[in-house]
């Protein structure tokens, strides 16, 4: 099982949108995907329409629970979820004095590895033990970058964090790539940010861009990934293209 942390130290960048919809698009291609929600806002959990989850991932991180006990089957074929809950708000404090807190998620995910092709971990937009723990558990990092000039500053901060985690906790951590999100092709600014991203990181930036799309904004209200909510929309098309490109980077094909 590959573990991918979807991370960016800036809110509104498209982390949850990418985690949920990339998971669904990869599942369409025959992959078994586990989405792990470690964001106290629990947006990925809500997006899948999951309610009444108990303590969810908090139990795994702070109370010695197992991933299998927290696991929820979603309505999206091929996608399971380890949900977040309101309890997760207290995780930082609960783990503050825990020895090896940053490696707990990595240890908890190991028993689940045989059942899935990959795990996508949706992280908070802040640097703390939850984000660091996700990076310590990951094989690679996928970075959604909002098409706004301020997002490039957040990207620089994240890359420094990734380097620190690689040095201290997870020497095999790699960068899967950056994907430009919320791109409004009608504005020159959005296009310029994408061009600058590709200029700075020509090898790491995905060719696929995620366009600003009303269907992506509506889909969470219906508890469905955009591929199910409106499979012919630009949002569905973009995430299917991203899934194909991710698999290509791994050197594997898909249906």
pLDDT for 253 equals 56
Interval 145-164 mean pLDDT: 86
Environment class of 35 (CB within 10 Å of its CB; exposed 0-12, middle 13-18, buried 19+): buried
183-242 pLDDT, tens per residue? 987 888 888 889 999 999 999 999 999 999 999 999 999 999 999 999 999 999 999 999
pLDDT-based confidence at residue 112 (cuts at 50, 70, 90): confident
Rg of the chain (C-alpha set): 17
Environment class of 121 (CB within 10 Å of its CB; exposed 0-12, middle 13-18, buried 19+): buried
* 221 vs 152, higher pLDDT: 221
Interval 159-166 mean pLDDT: 94
Task: Indicate the SS3 state at residue 200.
Answer: helix
pTM across the whole model = 0.94
Around 77, how many Cα atoms within 13 Å sit in the side-chain half-sphere?
5
pLDDT for 154 equals 79
The torsion region of residue 177 among left (phi > 0), alpha (psi -120 to 50) and beta comes to left
Helical (H) or strand (E) element with 44: helix 43-47
57-105 pLDDT, tens per residue? 999 999 989 999 999 999 999 999 999 999 999 998 999 888 899 999 9
Phi, psi of 174 (to 5 degrees): -120, 170
20-39 pLDDT, tens per residue? 999 999 999 999 999 999 99
Rounded Cα distance, 3 and 138, in Å: 5
Domain at 2-247: CATH architecture: 3-Layer(aba) Sandwich (3.40)
Range with the poorest average pLDDT among 81-95, 150-164, 168-182: 150-164
Is residue 252's pLDDT more than 80? no
Please state the domain extents for the chain. Answer: 2-247
């Amino acid at each position: 099982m590959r573990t991918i942390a979807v991370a960016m130290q800036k809110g509104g960048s498209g982390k949850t949108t990418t985690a949920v919809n990339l998971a669904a698009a990869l599942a369409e291609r025959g992959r078994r995907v586990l989405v792990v929600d470690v964001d106290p806002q629990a947006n990925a959990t809500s997006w899948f329409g999951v309610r009444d989850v108990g303590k969810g991932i908090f139990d795994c991180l702070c109370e010695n629970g197992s991933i299998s006990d927290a696991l929820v089957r979603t309505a999206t074929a091929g996608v399971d979820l380890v949900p977040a809950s309101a309890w997760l708000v207290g995780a930082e404090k609960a783990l503050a004095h825990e020895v090896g807190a940053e490696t707990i998620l990595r240890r908890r995910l190991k028993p689940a590895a045989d059942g899935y092709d990959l795990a996508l971990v949706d992280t908070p937009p802040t640097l703390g033990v939850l984000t660091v723990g996700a990076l310590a558990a990951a094989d690679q990092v996928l970075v959604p970058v909002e098409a706004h000039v301020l997002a490039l500053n957040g990207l620089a901060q994240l890359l420094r964090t990734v380097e620190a985690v690689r040095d201290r906790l997870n020497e095999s951590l790699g960068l899967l790539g950056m994907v430009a999100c919320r791109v409004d092709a009608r504005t020159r600014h959005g296009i310029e940010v994408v061009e600058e991203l590709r200029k700075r990181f020509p090898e790491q930036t995905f060719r696929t861009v995620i366009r600003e799309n009303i269907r992506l904004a509506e889909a969470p209200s219906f508890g469905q990934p955009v591929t199910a909510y409106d499979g012919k929309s630009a949002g569905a098309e973009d995430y299917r293209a991203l899934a194909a490109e991710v698999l290509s980077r791994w050197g594997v094909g898909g249906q």
